[in-house]
Amino acid sequence: MDSIGQPFRRAPAHMKGYIEEMELLDSILGTADRALRAVFAPAQASRPVPGRAETDPLSEADRREAAALMRVNHTGEIAAQALYEGQALAARSPDIRDLLRKASREETDHLAWCEQRLRELGSRPSLLNPLWYAGSFAIGALAATFGDRTSLGFVAETERQVEGHLDSHLAQLPAEDARSRAIVQAMREDEIAHGAAATSAGADELPAPARELMRHTARIMTRTAYWI
């Protein structure tokens, strides 16, 4: 039970409606707070940034390419935060909500790692991140309205696509950029684990049109974030 509902565990029956309203308000306010932090505040990682902190000997062209790819990855993590938050807010099962929130906390590490690497490369996040967060949150909440199994299926499919996306970045990143490559590899391992957890929890496979729409939406986001 959320913090507002905690003092009212044994409240009389006529107060149950009030308690439910307060719990909903608590959840909404918490979701809004996490949204503002994800988009506008520096992310705080619970794990060290993968790779060595020394500056890699990159040419100017390689530095620009690495920065553009890491900006795309940062935007992907902004979207992941929003997706999980939207799904968690509309989740029906407390266990599923906890699973989504746990994955979201691990994605915060990815967000912080990408922010750190962008600073090291002398670059910045995408200027459109607030837009990507809002759109992804709406998509996550919509997916959750179809039920927890569909919502988990959305997680599993998202992580499959993200894995492929990160594989492509490992192929594109400059060979000398060991720091970025270590970050992307660690992110990839976490994404695989999130997808496996969703599948184990009972994810339904999404229909082909939904999977294709997800790929198309992700393509627009990544191509835009590469430049803006």
Q: Among 179, 219, 195, which residue's Cα sits nearest to residue 49?
A: 179
Q: Output the average pLDDT for the chain.
A: 81
Burial of 99 (0-12, 13-18, 19+ CB in 10 A): buried
In the predicted model, what is the mean pLDDT of residues 129-154? 87
Rounded Cα–Cα distance for residues 154 and 60 (Å): 39
CA distance 130 to 138: 13
* CA 180, 103, 126, 118 torsion-angle sign: negative
- Other Cβ atoms less than 10 A from the Cβ of 46: the count is 9
**CA-closest candidate to residue 156, choices 180, 192, 125, 117:** 192
pLDDT band at 61 (very low <50, low <70, confident <90, very high): very high
Residue 186, pLDDT above cutoff 70: yes
* Predicted confidence (pLDDT) at residue 228 exceeds the cutoff of 70: yes
Residue 194 clears pLDDT 50, i.e. is over it: yes
Query: Quick one: pLDDT at residue 15?
Result: 55
Cα–Cα distance, 217 to 226 (Å, whole number): 15
The CA–CA distances, whole Å, from 155 to 80, 162, 220 equal: 10, 10, 19
pTM: 0.80
Counting other chains too, the contacts that 113-116 makes at CB distance below 8 Å and 24 or more residues apart are: 113/45, 113/49, 113/50, 113/183, 113/186, 113/187, 114/70, 114/71, 114/73, 114/74, 114/77, 114/183, 115/42, 115/43, 115/74, 116/45, 116/49
- Does residue 207 carry a pLDDT above 80? yes
**3-50 pLDDT tens trace:** 444 544 554 555 555 444 555 555 555 555 555 455 555 677 788 999
Write out pLDDT tens, residues 66-101: 999 999 999 988 888 888 888 888 888 888 888 888
Model pLDDT, residue 18: 47
The domains located in the chain, with CATH, are 10-227 (1.20.1260.10)
| Residue 53: pLDDT over 80 | no
Q: What is the model's pLDDT at position 121? A: 92
Is the distance from CB of 134 to CB of 127 less than 8 angstroms? no
